[in-house]
Amino acid sequence: MLFREIVAAAGDVDDIVIEFYTIDRVPSGPAFLRHVGAKEKLASHMNHLDLSELDRTMVREWTALDPKEYRLVWIDGDVPPELMSNVIVAYDTMNTAPRGDTAMDDWHTTPEQIHEWDRTRRATGRQRLIALAIHQASGETAGYTELNYDPDIPHIIWQQGTAVVPAHRSQGIGKWIKAAMLERAIRDWPAARLVRTGNADSNAPMLAINARLGFKPAWSVAIWEIGIADARRYSRGS
């Protein structure tokens, strides 16, 4: 019934691709999507880090990498106007992450979107930390990492995006900002026991860093897609 409502909401548009997410904890999801004709496009996992098992010595060593020509800038709360362009570059660098065979277009983040995300975060009481790696000479964004925390669910920290701008890769920036963020998170949110993050199975560079930190698979996630024409055929019973 829900599937038919989604298809009906597309109206007469012919170029829509409908995307679904499934997890292996609910096996009926993939079974249903195969039945309607959807195709799996990207395999990934939700990975989590048990903070009690974190190698604190290694994290301190990574934090001390402090790559030459870069500085770390923290955003605790709303994105300030003077860093808005840096954050937009950071978010849009996520377009370089693996997308498999999905039909997803590039993201083009706007200040209005960021203002709205900040507003809804504040309204729900969630907290957010962003660490920006800034190139000293140019002031340009070199990389970033972001965590979200909900005090109403105190045992979990949610890792959002982490990305290094292609021109600044292979200098240890990814390790540096991830480790610095973990040290800050442990200090600011002492009740947390787990850090959870989603990673495409094909994202080898990020998986390598996460594996060194101790992240382990918690459950598998897949992205599925179906074109609107095929979705209509199923919806009409043909």
Question: CATH number for the domain including 188?
Answer: 3.40.630.30
* Number of domain units in the chain: 1
Residue 51 lies inside a defined structural domain of this protein: yes
Cα separation of 20 and 26, whole Å? 13
Cα separation of 165 and 96, whole Å? 9
Residue 20 lies inside a defined structural domain of this protein: no
The pTM score is 0.92
Contact 21, 198 (CB under 8 A): no
| pLDDT tens, per residue, the chain with 238 residues | 999 999 999 999 999 999 999 999 999 999 999 999 999 999 999 999 999 999 999 999 999 999 999 999 999 999 999 999 999 999 999 999 999 999 999 999 999 999 999 999 999 999 999 999 999 999 999 999 999 999 999 999 999 999 999 999 999 999 999 999 999 999 999 999 999 999 999 999 999 999 999 999 999 999 999 999 999 999 888 5
Q: Which domain holds residue 128?
A: 45-218
Return the number of other C-beta atoms located less than 10 Å from residue 63's C-beta.
Answer: 19
